[in-house]
Amino acid sequence: MALEVGQSSAIEKCLDQESVVQFASLAEDYNPVHLDAKFAASTPFERPIVHGMLASSLISGLLASELPGSGTIYLGQTLKFVCPIYVGETITAKVTVKHIREDKPIATLATQVFNQDGKLAVDGEATVRYIVG
Amino acid sequence: MALEVGQSSAIEKCLDQESVVQFASLAEDYNPVHLDAKFAASTPFERPIVHGMLASSLISGLLASELPGSGTIYLGQTLKFVCPIYVGETITAKVTVKHIREDKPIATLATQVFNQDGKLAVDGEATVRYIVG
């Protein structure tokens, strides 16, 4: 099926403590607001929050696996971290085709990550080159 | 020391096969261009490449650990994936203060990731709220 404006795909995932610890090591990001409950209690967040880039990484997976899918090449991404996601929440990442270029197989997709309560936590836009199937 | 325009910080890290496999699982991004040498050989990249979001994740670590450092809250990030990074490369991520708001402790930083040959691979900009120390 050809790519069409309005198509969307979503994935749910629980971002548990183990995921956060693994990501901290990969990103060399040991910000205690993610890893130390006592420290987090002293911040406006009150409890440990997930790394914004960890939550956003699910967008990469969706683009490559689902929409546009296999063969997708990631060209760009914008991210706004709108509200915190707490460790242990099951989040939903969603991508929606917004625009398809007429001259090249390049598409822009709205990319959104929602927290467990359905509130928008990360808002942004991806640009990808896709395989015309 | 107060935050000043022009300040910069950098980190080097080898993104090996193990990092890529771990990130694939966290991001649910099993794009074979990252994981399957035979498949990668059939693409324009010829060899497995690192997930763009994995390389970019080092920016998150730099912002939180080094500049602006502890207490930093990530507000936004733009990313352009300019050239591939191959699995096994030692990359350098760098952040440089570009602008500091006068009304609020909010700064924008240029964020760059260079491949092993010093070529710009990921270009972008971060927006953060920082702790005035």
pLDDT tens, residue by residue, B73-113: 999 999 999 999 999 999 999 999 999 999 999 999 999 99
Tell me which chain B residues have a C-beta less than 8 angstroms from the C-beta of A19: 26
Residue A67 belongs to a domain: yes
Of B23, B54, B77, the CB nearest to A79: B77
Q: What is the pLDDT of residues B8-67, one digit of tens each?
A: 999 999 999 999 999 999 999 999 999 999 999 999 999 999 999 999 999 999 999 999
Residue A3 resides in a domain: no
Mutate to test the interface with B, among A53, A75, A80 (most CBs of B within 10 A): A53
Per-residue pLDDT reduced to its tens digit, A40-77: 999 999 999 999 999 999 999 999 999 999 889 999 99
Angle of CA points A108, B52, A76, to nearest 5°:
25
Domain that holds residue B88: 8-129
Residue A34 lies in a domain: yes
Chain B residues lying within 8 Å of A26, measured CB to CB: 19, 22-23, 26, 54, 57
| Residue A1 counted as domain residue | no
A68, part of any domain: yes
Chain B CB contacts of A32 below 8 Å: 70
Identify the band that residue B2 occupies on the pLDDT scale cut at 50, 70 and 90.
Answer: confident
pLDDT at B1: 62
Unique residue bearing structure tokens 């890529």 = B20
| A108 vs B: CB within 8 A | no
Q: Who's near B23: CB < 8 A, 6+ residues apart?
A: A26, A57, B29, B51, B53, B54, B57
For chain A, what percent of residues have pLDDT higher than 90? 93
| C-beta atoms of A61 and B29 within 8 A | yes
In a domain, B35, yes or no: yes
Band of residue A1 on the pLDDT scale cut at 50, 70, 90? low
pLDDT tens-place string over residues A70-117: 889 999 999 999 999 999 999 999 999 999 999 999 999 999 999 999
Position A105 scores a pLDDT of 95
B1 lies in a domain? no
Number of domains in chain B: 1
ipTM of the complex: 0.95
pLDDT for the residue B70: 86
- Kindly calculate the radius of gyration of chain A based on its CA atoms and give it in whole angstroms: 16
Which CATH number characterizes residue A120's domain? 3.10.129.10
**A116 domain residue, yes or no:** yes
Are residues A53 and B60, on separate chains, in Cβ contact within 8 Å? yes
Which residues, at least 6 apart from A41, have a Cβ–Cβ distance to it below 8 Å? Answer: A47
